[in-house]
A and B are shown apart, each in its own frame.
Chain A
Amino acid sequence: MLLVDNYIQQMKKNKNEQIIFYGNKGDILKKLPIYEGGVSAGFPSPADDYLDMDLNLHKYLVKNPVATFFIIAKGVSMEKAGINDKDLLVVDKSLNPKNNDIVVAIVNGEFTVKKYIIKDQRICLRAESKTENYPDINITDEMEFEIWGVVTHTIHSNR
C-alpha cells in the first residue's frame, strides 16, 4: 500500500505522459510511461484497466535488496559456468548455498568465485575453466573459510 500511496502522492504528469516514480527514500527509481485514455466525454478506453508499466529488470534480478551486492568477475576460470571476464555478478548474501550453486567465498583471507559442491559430506570449491584443469579446493577444518554469498545471476555484455 505504501507504494500506491507514494504513487498517488508523487504522480505528476508532464507532457510526455510520464510519471516520476519515487522510492520510499525519495530516490527516483524509474520513469514509467503510462497509457492515458484522456478525460474527454464518452467511454474511457478499455486499455486504461491495464495500466501498462515497463518491466523492472532490477526487481527481477534483485529479490532481496538488503542482502544483494553487485560484483565484477575478473579472469576466465569460471567460463564453463557462464562467467566471463568482466561479467557483473548479482550476489545474494542471505541465501544458503545448495549443491552446484556458484558462490562467492572467502578462503584463507581471499575472495574467490567457485562452484559449490558437496562431496562425501564435505564442501569443495570447483573451478569451471574451459582450458585448464584446476584442482578442487577441498575445505578442511583448519582452513579459514566463509561463504560470502550466492551468485544468483550473471550479467554479460555482448558489446
Chain B
Amino acid sequence: MIALADCNNFYASCERVFNPVLNNKPVIVLSNNDGCVIARSNEAKKLGIKMGVPVFKVRDIIIKNNVYVYSTNFALYGDMSSRVMSLLSKMSPEIEIYSIDEAFMNFTGIKNPTALALDMKSTVKKWTGIPISIGIGPTKTLAKVANYIAKRKTNSGIFGLFNYNDTIHSLKNLPISEIWGVGSRYSKMLYSNGIKTAYDFICLDKNWVLNNMTIVGLKTQEELKGHKKISLEIYKNRKKNICTSRSFGKKIKDFKLIKESIVAHATRCAEKLRRQSSCARYISVSIQTNRFDNPKSYYHGYQSKIIDLPTNNTIYLVNIAVKILESIYIKDLEYKKSGVIVGDIVPANQIQLNIFNNHQITEKQRVLYDAVDSINDAMGRDKIRLLGHGINRKWSLKKENLSPRYTTDWSDLLKIKV
C-alpha cells in the first residue's frame, strides 16, 4: 500500500498558523509579483475564486467579501514544509517528498494503515499547525485518487482504497481531468471521445491508450487498475541541478538591470552549491519576455556552457553567466523574467584537478568563500556581495502583502501581547 499525504491549502494554512484571525475566513496567496492566485482557503474556493486567475479579475469578490490577500512568503512556506516532511519521515521511514506540500509513503506491511494515517494527521496538526489529508491505495496513482476523495468526501481527511468495490465506485465518480498524470490536453481529447470518468479510462483498450497517449498514459491506466508501474523515489541525493529564477517587479529593457539580476541569481546558485559542499559542471542562463503580452514577439533566450573544472566559486560562475547573458540579450525587448541554472553537480571533494589548475589558488578561494559565507550567515544575506549585484535591486519582486518570515528571521518573529 502507498499513502499520499497532502497539506490542505498549504500556503493559506501556513499563514493561519501565525494569524488565528484568518481561521474560517477566505484567504488567498498570490504568485510572484502578486499577479495570479496560487493558493486558496476553502472559504475562498467557495466564493468562486479560481486557481491561477489574475488577481485583477477577482478584485470585486475580494473587496466585497473581505478576502485576506497575501504575497508568497517562500521563507515561511519552505520552513513549514520541511517541518511537516521531517515529521512524516519519522513516522514512515520510506518516503518520497514529491512537492512542497505532498509526500508519498510506503505503507507496505502496515497492519492498520487507516490508524497510522489518522495518527500522522493528528500529530502533524498538533506539532506544526498544518492540516493534512491522506489517501491510501495499492499504487501511487490510486493513492492520489484516494487523497482526492479524502479531501472532498470525508470528515476525517483519511481515505483508503482497500477493496475492489470501493475502487470501482471511486473511479466511476472521478472526472478524467482529476487523474494524476493526465494533463489538460489529454483529458480534453479523452472527453471528446466520450471518456468522462477514470472508470471509462480503465475500460479502454490497452493498445488504444498506448497509441493515443504514449507509454505514460498506459502506465497511468495500469496504475489505476492496481498494478504498480511508478515506484517510490526514496533516495534523492544531492540536487541534480539548482535553479534560481525570478520574475521582475516590472518589465525591464535595461541591460544593466538584467545583468544585476543574473549576477544575483548566479551568486545564489554558488551559495547553494557551497552549502551542500558540491560543485557544478554546467551553467545556463535564460531571459524571457512576457508570453501573454504579445505571443508573436515572445522571446526566450537560453544558453548553457560546460565549465572546464566543476566549481562553486561565485566570481567564476558570475563571469560565465554574464558572458552568456551578453550573447542572448536582444536590445529593446521588454524582459519579464531571468534565471540561472547550475547542473551536473558533483561533491566538492571528488573533483579531479586538471593540470592547468593550481591547487593553492583553489585552497585560497575556499578560505575566502568560507569567510564570505559565514559573514553573510551572521550578518544577513548579501552583506558581502559583488558590485555587479547592484545596490537598489530595481528588478526585484513586487510583494505588497508579504507576511513576516515568522520562523526564519529573528526580526520577524511572531509577537504576542501577553
The 7 closest A-B pairs by CB, nearest first: A67-B127, A26-B276, A113-B418, A111-B416, A78-B418, A26-B275, A106-B20
Asked if A152 CB lies within 8 Å of chain B CBs, one says: no
Asked if B374 CB lies within 8 Å of chain A CBs, one says: yes
- Chain B residues 334 to 378 lying within 8 A of chain A, measured CB to CB, are 349, 367, 370, 373-374, 377
Assembled-state Cα–Cα distance A66/B416 (Å): 21
Asked if residues B128 and A72 are in contact (CB atoms below 8 Å), the reply is no
Asked if residues B416 and A74 are in contact (CB atoms below 8 Å), the reply is yes
Asked if residues B413 and A70 are in contact (CB atoms below 8 Å), the reply is yes
- Chain A residues 27 to 74 lying within 8 A of chain B, measured CB to CB, are 27-28, 31, 64, 66-67, 69-74
Tally of contacts, chain A with chain B, CB under 8 A: 85
Asked if residues B127 and A75 are in contact (CB atoms below 8 Å), the reply is no
User: Nearest Cβ distance between residue A32 and chain B, in whole angstroms?
Assistant: 14
Could you tell me which B residues sit within 8 Å of A by CB distance?
20-21, 23, 82-83, 86-87, 90, 123, 126-129, 275-277, 349, 367, 370, 373-374, 377, 406-407, 413-418
Asked if residues A93 and B417 are in contact (CB atoms below 8 Å), the reply is no
- Please indicate which of the listed interface residues A64, A71, A110 has the most CB atoms of chain B within 10 Å of its own CB: A71
Sorting the interface of chain A by its residue count into under 10, 10 to 19, 20 to 34 or 35 or more gives 35 or more
Asked if residues A72 and B414 are in contact (CB atoms below 8 Å), the reply is yes
Asked if residues A72 and B277 are in contact (CB atoms below 8 Å), the reply is no
User: Nearest Cβ distance between residue B8 and chain A, in whole angstroms?
Assistant: 17
* Given pairs A67-B87, A71-B416, 9 additional interface contacts (CB within 8 A): A26-B276, A28-B275, A31-B374, A67-B127, A67-B128, A69-B406, A74-B416, A113-B418, A127-B418
Q: With A26-B276, A74-B415 in contact, is A110–B126 under 8 Å at CB?
A: no
Asked if residues A28 and B20 are in contact (CB atoms below 8 Å), the reply is no
Asked if A117 CB lies within 8 Å of chain B CBs, one says: no
Which residue in A20, A22, A112, A127 is a CB contact (below 8 Å) of B416?
A112
Asked if residues B370 and A66 are in contact (CB atoms below 8 Å), the reply is no
Asked if residues B413 and A112 are in contact (CB atoms below 8 Å), the reply is no
Assembled-state Cα–Cα distance A89/B414 (Å): 10
- Chain A residues 120 to 145 lying within 8 A of chain B, measured CB to CB, are 127
Asked if residues A14 and B370 are in contact (CB atoms below 8 Å), the reply is yes
Q: With A14-B370, A28-B373 in contact, is A73–B277 under 8 Å at CB?
A: no
The 8 sampled A-B contact pairs (Cβ below 8 Å) are A14-B370, A20-B370, A66-B127, A70-B407, A72-B415, A74-B415, A93-B127, A109-B21
Asked if residues A66 and B413 are in contact (CB atoms below 8 Å), the reply is no
Assembled-state Cα–Cα distance A20/B90 (Å): 26
User: Nearest Cβ distance between residue A62 and chain B, in whole angstroms?
Assistant: 12
User: Nearest Cβ distance between residue B70 and chain A, in whole angstroms?
Assistant: 18
Residues of B contacting A31 in the complex (Cβ-Cβ under 8 angstroms): 374
Asked if residues A94 and B417 are in contact (CB atoms below 8 Å), the reply is no
Asked if residues A113 and B416 are in contact (CB atoms below 8 Å), the reply is yes
Q: With A20-B370, A69-B406, A109-B20 in contact, is A93–B128 under 8 Å at CB?
A: yes
Asked if residues A69 and B275 are in contact (CB atoms below 8 Å), the reply is no
Assembled-state Cα–Cα distance A88/B418 (Å): 12
Q: With A71-B416, A72-B415 in contact, is A14–B126 under 8 Å at CB?
A: no
Asked if residues A72 and B127 are in contact (CB atoms below 8 Å), the reply is no
